Structure 1
Amino acid sequence: MLKLESVKVSYGAIEAVKGVSLEVRAGEVVTIIGANGAGKSTLLKSIVGLEPVAAGKVFIGGRDATQVRAHERVALGVAMSPEGRGVFADQTVRENLMLGAYSRRKDPAAIEAAIEREFQRFPRLRERQDQLSGTLSGGEQQMLAIARALMSDPKLLLLDEPSLGLAPLIIKDIFSAIRQLRESGLTILLVEQMAKQALGVADRAYVLETGCITLEGSGRELLNDPKVKAAYLGTH
């Protein structure tokens, strides 16, 4: 579903991503963990086309998408729920969902069916559908960000720090939704600082440190790795 070959991303003279290679197979949940500043969000942005790749290749669904523009990558089946949620604050919940379905705008019936599907997935959004998104709680905004990404009916969903700044009960709900999406067969690439929860839901995982992959393995293997425990799980 996704393959990166020696991807490099730079901000001026600073190389934020230093030759990363990884893959995400169809139906998998793959997690990337790492500290702040490791390059995780930059890597996701390079996959969806929001950051240019300085070197290397990005393949989506077997197609070389390295030079494909961001809005055209949606048609290749990729969507992202960004760090910080990025909801359109002056638009209602329903309007945000409709904007997420822009690539499907010629099929109103499919859009309405998708909105209903997301309301069933996140009942709170149904209750708030006519409310301006900027007035939602952080947890509600995160639900909306994920639902909006799903409105394009992606084959590959990228989730960037979905638990950031949320209360423990809301984090539990978000990871429950991720498990449901996995069970539906959706392919997910998850970037997350809550390492224990992220590795617990992952089929496979990578550790990113200062722009480089330093460890990879199954979610269970990394969850039990002494180095990962010491660095990310708060145990020795």
Structure 2
Amino acid sequence: MVTIIGANGAGKSTLLKAICGLEPVAAGTIKLDGKDLTKVKSHERVGLGVAMSPEGRGVFADQTVRENLMLGAYSRRKDGAATEAAVEREFNRFPRLRERQNQLSGTLSGGEQQMLAISRALMSDPRLLLLDEPSLGLAPLIIKDIFKAIRELREAGLTILLVEQMAKQALGVADRAYVIETGHITLEGTGRALLNDPKVKAAYLGSH
């Protein structure tokens, strides 16, 4: 699990979008297990194992919770039994989604929409999960639930790239971490090392 922190406008979300194929790459390459994805279309990257829960959740407001999950499974749509098993898995992960499975997603609370966005990304059984600001605008109790799910995914062996404004929580669950400033990496190390770094404390943890 890798965490990326940085100020607003530093380029964190742009990096995730570039990995997904939603932003053009100006230089360099994007590789997954040695396979060059730089020119692979965005929807094809999902089939290769890349999925993202975007900043702002991006749920389809006029579709139900279940329909949103089914849309997340489009890359495996020929295997109905596996798709239903994945839906059940996500309902077990976030029981609130089961309770609201026939409810329009636009009527959900912010926390419920975030749960749905994460579960929708997981419906494709990704090898790499990108999470963009999963705690944004959520109440503390909901943030606790979201980070619990993230830790469980990490412990289950899923590779996660997390962009998060709550630096302390993000660094606390990260194996490695990077600080980005205006599109450049300025610090890197283990999550614990950056959590204790004086520069990071001063800039992102409210401690001097």
Q: Shorter-chain TM-score: which interval?
A: over 0.9
- Residue matched to 2:143: 171
**2:197 aligned with 1:229, yes or no?**
no
Aligned residue in 1 for 2:15:
43
Query: Is 1:184 aligned with 2:156?
Result: yes
Q: Provide the C-alpha distance between the structure 1 equivalents of 2:140 and 2:181, rounded to a whole number of angstroms.
A: 26
| Number of matched pairs | 208
Residue number among 65, 83, 87 corresponding to 1:111 in the alignment: 83
Please give the alpha-carbon distance, in whole angstroms, between the structure 1 residues aligned to 2:57 and 2:110.
Answer: 9
Shift of 1:60: 1.4
**1:162 matched to 2:128:** no
Q: Secondary structure at the match of 1:180?
A: helix
Q: Is the contact between residue 82 and residue 145 of structure 1 (CA under 8 Å) also seen in structure 2?
A: yes
For residues 234 and 108 of structure 1, what CA distance do their matches in structure 2 show? 49
Aligned to 2:117: 145
Partner residue of 2:180?
208
Contact 1:61–1:76 at 8 Å: present in 2 too? Answer: no
For the pair 1:59 / 2:23, whether they are aligned, the reply is no
The one-letter amino acid of 1:146's match is: I
Distance 1:223 1:153 in 2: 31
Alpha-carbon shift at residue 61 of structure 1 (Å): 2.2
3-state SS of the aligned residue for 1:87? coil
TM-score normalized by structure 1? 0.88
Distance 1:154 1:209 in 2: 28
Give ranges in structure 2 of 5+ residues lacking alignment: none
- TM-score, reference length from structure 2: 0.99
Bigger fraction of residues in helix: 2
Identity %: 86
The 5 A counterparts of 1:129-144 are 129-144=101-116
Instruction: Identify which of 47, 60, 85 aligns with 2:57.
Output: 85
Superposed CA offset, 1:14-33 (max 9, x none): xxxxxxxxxxxxxxx10000
